[in-house]
Amino acid sequence: MQTFPIVPLALSNKAHAASQLLWCFLVLAILSLPRAAAADPVADFYRGKILTIGVGFSAGGGYDLHARTLAHHMPKHLPGSPTIVVKNVPGGSGLTLINTLYNSASKDGTEIATFDRAIPLQPLIDGDRGRFDPLKLNWIGSSDNDPSTCIAWHDSPVKTFDDLTKQELVVGATGSVGIALAFPRIANAVLGTKFKVINGYPGSTEVLLSMERGETQGFCSAGFVTVALARPGWIRDRKVNFLVQLAIEKHKDHPEVPLALDLPKSTADRQAIELIVSSTLFARPFAAPPGVPAERVDALRKAFNQTLTDPEYLADGGPAQVASGTGDRSARRRGAESRLRHAESGGRFRQRSDEVAIEVITPAIACKLTPEPLIVRKRSRTSRRAAANAARSPARIPRKAPA
């Protein structure tokens, strides 16, 4: 029979204590090792990806400015920090873009778009052309709340809104839908104004150029902030007159400009105006198509909101805070003007210009009025300058000599 030596009790206790101490050191060593970060499926998806922001207008206008400023600052707030590029797709004030976004764009969270604020109402107004359901879009947010206005060139006989009931004002429009087309028509029908619409410009940049060239005399989709950023000299030199605000309530900094909703004489007329101007509540909408995974939609919304309060975004001309009048206005304006120059010159924002020419078709409008004849133009396939040349009127509007 095998026998074992008896270990003294004191030695056994020392061995046990040493064993416990060894285990403590081992546990501490394991805990001190660098731990792998928790898996983030959203970050894993967006890492190395390209996210495209479609803009339903040509480069250099207000919607384009908002998209490019957002594209520059949003990547660091979105998990995975994807590259964000801007793609201009003019056509129907964004109707072409949103129909594509809804029906055939990728639904993985790599495509979002911004378009005319009136576009969400299009299925209600003309369902045959609005092939989307606004209630099924994944709305990301709006980057400002600047109301639209009607402006008139300084040498036009129209100086105030009251003048519009006595004098004709030729205004440009950017497509078959949108407030630039809808409001003049409604105003002519219910307020007795004398707007004449020249339709088919690919964006506000070309409309503003047409005013300078004498092709048109005004525009009814120009926000106070957009004009101040895109054409600061116009404000400084009093080149335009603001005729009316197209919004639910007046801009706090411009109480002297009348509100369109205050002008109708009857309830029915007011409702017609309200239908059109209510779209200003959308301001600068950004949306993703239906079917995007919920966690990616949530990440896009969170990144969007964080970007709008990012100090670097605000210092770089963040349009949302320009509209609200906070922060260093001069610094923001310099940043925004710089971004406009980059947009117009095809700068570092990698603008993709693969849009196609589209024939603009006059749509039915909200109150089903018989539309007056419109001058309709074809849009160029090439650059902003070519598009502007394509929009050149065959006859210039005679200018009156200053009184």
pLDDT in tens, 246-282: 999 998 889 999 999 999 999 999 999 998 888 888 8
pLDDT number for residue 21:
61
- Residue 108 lies inside a defined structural domain of this protein: yes
pLDDT number for residue 33:
56
Task: Tell me the CATH number at 368.
Answer: 3.40.190.10
Is residue 324's pLDDT more than 90? no
Average pLDDT over residues 196-204: 90
d(CA 140, CA 223): 21
- Residue 230 lies inside a defined structural domain of this protein: yes
pLDDT number for residue 334:
44
Is residue 349's pLDDT more than 70? no
Is residue 78's pLDDT more than 70? yes
- Residue 238 lies inside a defined structural domain of this protein: yes
Helix axis angle, 62-73 relative to 204-213, nearest 10°? 140
Candidate ranges 28-42, 100-114, 123-137, 359-373; pick with highest mean pLDDT: 100-114
Cβ–Cβ < 8 Å for 179, 221: yes
- Residues 92, 158, single domain; the answer is no
Neighbours of 174 (CB within 10 A): 32
User: What's phi and psi for 225, nearest 5 deg?
Assistant: -70, -40
Residue that the structure tokens 């003309």 belong to: 126
- Residue 166 lies inside a defined structural domain of this protein: yes
| DSSP code of residue 166 | T
| DSSP code of residue 4 | -
| Predicted TM-score (pTM) of this structure | 0.65
d(CA 115, CA 214): 27
d(CA 196, CA 178): 16
Query: Whose CA is closest to 182, among 125, 253, 100?
Result: 125
Per-residue burial over 137-173, b if 16 or more Cβ lie within 10 Å, else e, is bbebbbbbbbbbbbbbbeebebeebebbeeeebbbbb
Question: What tokens does 363 get?
Answer: 């749509």
- Residues 153, 269, single domain; the answer is yes
**Domain span including residue 293:** 45-145+282-344
- Residues 310, 255, single domain; the answer is no
Is residue 378's pLDDT more than 70? no
For the ranges 6-15, 102-111, 308-317, 333-342, the lowest mean pLDDT is seen at 333-342
Average pLDDT over residues 74-101: 93
Residue that the structure tokens 């133009």 belong to: 377
Question: What tokens does 289 get?
Answer: 């198509």
- Residues 316, 364, single domain; the answer is no
d(CA 339, CA 316): 8
The total domain count for the chain is 2
- Residues 232, 376, single domain; the answer is yes
Residue that the structure tokens 């078709």 belong to: 361
Spatial CB neighbours of 276, under 8 Å, sequence gap ≥ 6:
118, 179, 182, 183, 186, 246, 366
- Residue 255 lies inside a defined structural domain of this protein: yes
Is residue 374's pLDDT more than 60? no
Cβ–Cβ < 8 Å for 316, 65: no
Average pLDDT over residues 223-247: 91
- pLDDT band at residue 54 under the 50/70/90 scheme: very high
d(CA 276, CA 262): 14
d(CA 143, CA 71): 12
**Mean pLDDT over all residues of the chain?**
77
pLDDT number for residue 85:
97
pLDDT number for residue 30:
60
Residue % of the chain over a pLDDT of 90:
47
286 or 359, which is more confident? Answer: 286
| DSSP code of residue 163 | G
For the ranges 7-16, 36-45, 184-193, the lowest mean pLDDT is seen at 7-16
